[in-house]
């Protein structure tokens, strides 16, 4: 909408000394003629614009025009800015970019606060492995739009055992847990709240059917220990050379260092097929001490794997 763009242009100008019409057109995805009309509209509305002619020309605001940021203490302002900047690095949300632009405008055009807004955020989350491109941003955008507009969506969901089912859900929120994206939604056919791992969603179809949010039940799953599956007690013994790798994988646990240099982890975790997969990823550097039934499963999987490579 034009009014939204006009406000965004004003905020963009507030955080800069001078910008060109071409820069504004590129940033907002419109033509130069549209920008010229927008600047004329802002001028007619009483915004004190300054126009600079020539090769180094452009638009700016007079120095006396500034919003007030005294509502925030400097530390509070920078903490909020840094947090939003870190989140936006992960999900690239245009609405968050707009908020950042507003906050940046409040910092003024110079000074210590302005300089600190240009620094890296305190926490920067990169949701994909280094060197790889994000390939599911379109999925996230579609889900987000459905959540905001409260529209039912349907998709194919493939479980860990490769069984695929068609799901029709009322999307409620997106959860990032342990580096994995999940959709939390009301499953219409199963009449229950479910988690859907993004990497297992395919053939997503945005629907036109509107829904009314249900009250839900508290606490939410992520507020009470994330009980996807019944928890299991597992004791793993790692060789000395794998000790740090194990600490990286199970950072929440406090291992016991044994006399021979190996480390023993006592872990409590929800059980799923991923447990065996994670254990096997350490190869011969780990031994399952307990429970016996997981130890047996690991032994059988290792034997089956070795047999395949002998064939």
Cα distance between residue 199 and residue 54, in whole Å: 52
Q: What is the CATH number of the domain that holds 303?
A: 3.30.70.240
Per-residue model confidence (pLDDT) at position 6: 83
Q: pLDDT tens digits, residue range 140-190?
A: 888 888 988 899 999 999 987 788 999 999 999 888 776 678 899 999 999
* 79 within some domain: yes
Last residue of a domain, one of 159, 194, 223: 223
Q: Are residues 143 and 219 both part of a single domain?
A: yes
Q: Nearest 5°: phi and psi at 232?
A: -135, 145
What's the mean pLDDT in 100-104?
Answer: 75
Q: What is the CATH number of the domain that holds 11?
A: 1.10.10.10
* 303 within some domain: yes
| Residue 61 confidence class, pLDDT cut points 50, 70, 90 | confident
* 247 within some domain: yes
| Residue 264 confidence class, pLDDT cut points 50, 70, 90 | very high
Whether residue 83 is predicted with pLDDT greater than 60 in this model: the reply is: yes
* 198 within some domain: yes
Cα distance between residue 33 and residue 184, in whole Å: 44
Q: DSSP assignment of 112-126, as one string?
A: HHHHHHTSPPSS---
Q: Are residues 204 and 256 both part of a single domain?
A: no
Q: What is the CATH number of the domain that holds 189?
A: 2.30.30
CB 6 within 8 A of CB 38: yes
* 69 within some domain: no
Q: Are residues 259 and 300 both part of a single domain?
A: yes
Per-residue model confidence (pLDDT) at position 225: 57
**Token duo for residue 30:** 């419109």
Cα distance between residue 246 and residue 265, in whole Å: 9
* 124 within some domain: no
The region, left, alpha or beta by phi > 0 then psi within -120 to 50, assigned to residue 191 is left
Q: Which helix (H) or strand (E) holds 99?
A: helix 94-106
Whether residue 290 is predicted with pLDDT greater than 90 in this model: the reply is: yes
Q: Are residues 9 and 78 both part of a single domain?
A: no
Q: Are residues 104 and 141 both part of a single domain?
A: no
**Token duo for residue 37:** 């009309």
Cα distance between residue 206 and residue 157, in whole Å: 15
Predicted model pTM: 0.54
Give the residue numbers spanning the domain of 174: 137-223
Q: Are residues 235 and 219 both part of a single domain?
A: no
* 172 within some domain: yes
Cα distance between residue 85 and residue 83, in whole Å: 5
Q: Are residues 191 and 161 both part of a single domain?
A: yes
Per DSSP bridges, beta strands 180-187 and 192-197 are: antiparallel
* Count of structural domains, the chain: 4
Per-residue model confidence (pLDDT) at position 129: 45
How far apart are the two ends of the chain, measured CA to CA in Å?
Answer: 65
Residues of the chain with pLDDT > 70, as a percent, come to: 76
106 forms bridges with which residues in the sheet?
A: none
* 285 within some domain: yes
């Amino acid at each position: 909408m034009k009014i939204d763009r006009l406000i965004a242009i004003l905020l963009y100008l507030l955080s800069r000394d001078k910008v060109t019409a071409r820069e504004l057109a590129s940033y907002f995805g419109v033509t130069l003629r549209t920008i010229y009309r927008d600047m004329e509209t802002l001028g007619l509305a009483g915004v004190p614009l300054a126009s600079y002619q020539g090769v180094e020309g452009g638009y700016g605001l007079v120095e006396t025009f500034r919003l007030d940021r005294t509502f925030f203490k400097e530390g509070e302002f920078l903490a909020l800015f840094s947090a939003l900047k870190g989140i936006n690095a992960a999900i690239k949300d245009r609405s968050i970019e707009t908020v950042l632009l507003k906050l940046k405008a409040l910092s003024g055009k110079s000074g210590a606060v302005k300089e600190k807004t240009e620094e890296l955020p305190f926490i920067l989350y990169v949701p994909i492995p280094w060197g790889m491109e994000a390939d599911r941003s379109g999925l996230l955008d579609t889900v987000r739009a459905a959540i905001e507009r409260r529209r039912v969506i349907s998709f194919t969901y493939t479980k860990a055992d490769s069984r695929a089912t068609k799901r029709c859900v009322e999307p409620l929120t997106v959860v990032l847990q342990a580096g994995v994206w999940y959709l939390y939604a009301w499953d219409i056919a199963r009449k229950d709240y479910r988690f859907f791992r993004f990497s297992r969603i395919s053939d997503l179809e945005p629907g036109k059917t509107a829904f009314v949010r249900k009250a839900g039940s508290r606490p939410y799953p992520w507020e009470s220990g994330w009980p996807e599956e019944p928890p299991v007690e597992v004791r793993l013994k790692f060789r000395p050379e794998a000790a740090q790798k194990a600490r990286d994988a199970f950072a929440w646990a406090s291992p016991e260092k044994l006399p021979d240099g190996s480390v023993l982890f006592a872990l409590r975790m929800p059980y799923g097929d991923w447990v065996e997969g994670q254990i096997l990823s350490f190869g011969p550097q780990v031994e399952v001490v307990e429970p016996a039934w997981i130890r047996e499963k690991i032994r059988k999987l290792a034997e089956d794997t070795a047999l395949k490579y002998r064939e």
